[in-house]
Amino acid sequence: MRMRIRGRCWLVGDNVPTDAIVRSHLITRPMDEIRRHVLEGLNPRFPLEVRTDDVLVAGRHFGQSSGRAIAVRALKATGVGCVVAESFARTFYRNAFEMGLPILECPGITGRVSEGDVLTVDLEEGLVIDETTGSQLQAAPIPPFLRRMLEAGGIIPIARQLAEGTDR
């Protein structure tokens, strides 16, 4: 897992539900179709223009409502390199680490970065650097257990390590 991500900033607000990341009627569609509709109700340009390693910046309680893993898979499929938010809904938080989508909790980020800014996210140091404005924000540290999961690429590799006894 790369611990440094650089890309353009996309913004969404507070309390974004998983229903808005992937609408319910799309859940059973192929991922190639789903990814072209991610967050379209909130930011119609996002699914059309998002590029690999772009950074999605959200407000409080991102990914609330149903804990559907497809919301994380769909975001990964768009190429988003990292999601930074004031806070996450806890099911989204779990799913992101378990499926290897880098996320950072960064209280105070709302209003400090603008859409289109170039951001560098340093997962190791928990830093969000806005290269467009030169400002820098300190995120909450990732707990060691979850850092290990992130480095392994998710919870499945952790399960394999447990099964093979290579964990001990």
Partner 1 sequence: MNLVEKILARASGRARVTPGEVVVADVDRILLHDLSCYLTARVFEEEVRQPVCHPDRVVVVFDHHFSPPTEEQARMLQENRAWARRHGFHLFDCGSGNIHHVALHAGFIRPGTVVVGSDSHTPVHGTLGCFATGLGNYSHAALGLPFGKAWFRVPELVRIELEGTTGLGVTPRDVALFLTGQIGEGGMVYRALEFAGPYLEGLEVFDRWLFPLITVDVGAKSGHVQPDERTLSFLAELTGERPEAVRGDGDDVAEVRGWTVDGLEPQVACPPTVGNVHPVTESAGVPIQWAELGGHGGGRLQDIRLAARVLRGRRVHPQVRFNVVPSSRWVFTQALREGLVEDLHRAGATWFPPSTGSNQAINMGALAADETMVSTHARNFPGRNGGGRMYLASALTVAASAVAGCLADPREFVR
Q: Which of 77, 118, 127, 158 binds partner 1 (CB under 8 A)?
A: 158
98 binds partner 1 (CB under 8 A): yes
User: How many residues lie near partner 1 (CB under 8 A)?
Assistant: 40
88 binds partner 1 (CB under 8 A): yes
67 binds partner 1 (CB under 8 A): yes
Letter for the amino acid at 26? L
Q: Which of 5, 78, 91, 113 binds partner 1 (CB under 8 A)?
A: 91
Q: Which of 4, 6, 19, 127 binds partner 1 (CB under 8 A)?
A: 19
The residue among 25, 24, 46 whose CA lies nearest residue 35 is 46
Taking CB under 8 A as the criterion, which residues in 100-139 touch partner 1? none
Q: Please report how close the Cβ of residue 117 comes to partner 1 at its closest, in angstroms.
A: 25
Q: Please report how close the Cβ of residue 164 comes to partner 1 at its closest, in angstroms.
A: 10
The residue among 95, 85, 80 whose CA lies nearest residue 150 is 95
152 binds partner 1 (CB under 8 A): no
155 binds partner 1 (CB under 8 A): yes
118: which strand partners? Answer: 8
Q: Which of 15, 110, 120, 132 binds partner 1 (CB under 8 A)?
A: 15
90 binds partner 1 (CB under 8 A): yes
For residues 59 and 110, the answer to whether their CB atoms sit within 8 Å is yes
Sole window of 5-13, 49-57, 88-96, 120-128 interacting with partner 1 (rule: CB under 8 A): 88-96
E strands, the chain, are: 4-11, 55-58, 82-85, 103-105, 118-122, 127-130, 136-138
CA atoms of 106 and 147, how far apart (whole Å): 16
Distance in Å from the first CA to the final CA of the chain: 21
- Report the residue count for the chain: 168
